[in-house]
Amino acid sequence: MSYEGFLLVDKPTEWTSHDVVARVRRLAEMKKVGHAGTLDPMATGLLVLGLGRVTRLLRFIQDQPKEYVATARFGVATDTLDADGTVTDRSPLPVGQTETERALAGFRGEITQIPPMTSAIKVGGQKLYELARRGEEIERPARTVTIFELEMTGFSAGDFPEVDFRVVCSSGTYVRTLADDIARALGGRAHLTALRRTRIGSLHVENASTMEELAEPGRLAGSILAPASGLAGMETLQVEEPVAARVRHGSKLPVDQLPVDGHTAILDGDGRLLAVYRREDSVARAEVVLS
């Protein structure tokens, strides 16, 4: 049986994102499975998978804002900025809740981050984590990201405070770097002890399946979401024949048929996703055609 659609998975801790993809490939008995938005092994939560031709739509999921809940331990730094790493610095940072909340406020909006060495970003054609494994550290260019929402949800005082927070951020944001940068603003360092992704765009972890659930007979087939459901935040245009036939062939469309600049999901008369188009100058061009 061949599947076409999105699959929402609640990734368990200690699993890599690739582990999840490999397991779903075996369960679905198909090779064409991919994911949007890598989660570190320590992290849990929403991992969006694409099956079949829908893997071509994953880049649109990847670009959507993401929500996380996290816990940071202030005063302790690790080489990975999370609990999987080796402690590199341990210095008490007995800050208070009000002081910490003020520091968080300075990180809302557009900010710059320097990616951690233990990340998959490529510099000079090499992934940073591959260099880190060889004991190398290189200069990394700062990247601009956006923090749409950032709030403290819990605070445990002490020489090494624990700070719980929720963040909604743009694609490419490193939450572990955010936690360490907040601590640096307070005069110290920090690392994450917990990280959970709860949302990507309009897709929520509450609707995701665990790996144990997906192994149950019939559960995988019943968990596949229609392609259009993963693009809920995108503008849509429903077309009838003969326009639908042109879309299936990836033909150009008059620009005035698309409602907005940027991407538009083109649906047939029954609401099935046919393609994703983009307005460019005087025409609308197909970027992804599913049919």
Domain with residue 279: its CATH number is 2.30.130.10
**Contacts of residue 4, Cβ cutoff 8 Å, sequence gap at least 6:** 51, 52, 53, 54, 224, 227, 290
Q: What is the pTM of this model?
A: 0.92
Q: How far apart are CA 102 and CA 274, in angstroms?
A: 48
Give the pLDDT of residue 171. Answer: 92
What angle in degrees, to the nearest 10, is found between the helix axes of 97-105 and 175-185?
A: 120
Give the pLDDT of residue 1. Answer: 65
Residue with tokens 């360092």: 189
Instruction: Report mean pLDDT in 10-residue bins for the chain, 291 residues.
Output: 91 95 96 93 96 95 96 97 94 98 98 80 68 67 95 98 98 96 98 98 96 95 92 88 93 82 89 92 89 74
Q: Are residues 54 and 70 in the same domain?
A: no
Q: How far apart are CA 179 and CA 188, in angstroms?
A: 11
User: Which pair of structure tokens corresponds to residue 189?
Assistant: 């360092």
Q: Are residues 217 and 160 in the same domain?
A: no
Give the pLDDT of residue 135. Answer: 67
Domain with residue 175: its CATH number is 3.30.2350.10
**Contacts of residue 190, Cβ cutoff 8 Å, sequence gap at least 6:** 72, 73, 74, 75, 76, 77, 93, 163, 179, 180, 182, 183
Give the pLDDT of residue 114. Answer: 87
Q: Which residues are catalytic?
A: 40
Q: Are residues 152 and 184 in the same domain?
A: yes
Q: Are residues 272 and 214 in the same domain?
A: no
Q: Are residues 214 and 179 in the same domain?
A: no
Give the pLDDT of residue 232. Answer: 80
Q: H or E segment at 180? A: helix 175-185
Q: Are residues 116 and 45 in the same domain?
A: no
Give the pLDDT of residue 121. Answer: 67
Q: Are residues 121 and 160 in the same domain?
A: yes
Give the pLDDT of residue 117. Answer: 62
**Number of domains comprising the chain:** 3
Range of the domain at 70: 66-200
